[in-house]
Amino acid sequence: MSNYSSIGSYTSSITKNGVRQLGKPWDFSRIAVRLAEWKQVGKIVIWILPVLLVLNVMCSSAISSMNHSIGKVTEATVVLETKNLGLLAERAIAGSELNVKKRAEDTLGLVTAVKGQVGLFNRQYGSFQYKQPLL
């Protein structure tokens, strides 16, 4: 264990900066070089900025037309889905057993045969004629 009896040990830990340098006088040749460099940067910026603006306008236009076409496709999808639901309903109605029997009777003249009933095909009309069974 150390014994710190003097105050110097506390102040010696402060960092010493050394002698400060005085500011250098303005060097106008360095300023001229810096201005020439910034002039080149300015030329590049003047050429790049319009190109970026044109690209921005083109991208905005492309995105807008895509949004418009997506809207049209969405509307067409809704119309087709509605039509599909209508066709599914028609198919369900047309495929029902009662509707099939009714159409067969109306258009073809087909009737469910009763036990003992005899049907004769009429070639002139292209349909069957049924005779009632004898009781």
Q: What pLDDT, in 10s, does the model give residues 100-119?
A: 888 888 888 777 777 777 77
For residue 79, the model assigns a pLDDT of 97
- % of the chain surpassing 70 pLDDT: 76
The position carrying tokens 């014994």 is 3
β-pairing, 127-131 vs 118-122, is antiparallel
The domain spans of the chain are: 27-94
20-66 pLDDT, tens digit per residue, is 555 566 666 777 778 788 888 888 889 899 999 999 999 999 999 99
pLDDT greater at residue 11 or residue 76 = 76
Query: Would you say 133 and 117 are in contact if contact means Cβ atoms under 8 Å apart?
Result: yes
pLDDT at site 128? 76
Under the phi-then-psi rule, with left for phi > 0, alpha for psi from -120 to 50, and beta for the rest, what region is 116? left
Phi, psi of 23 (to 5 degrees): -60, 140
The answer to whether the CB of 101 falls within 8 A of the CB of 111 is no
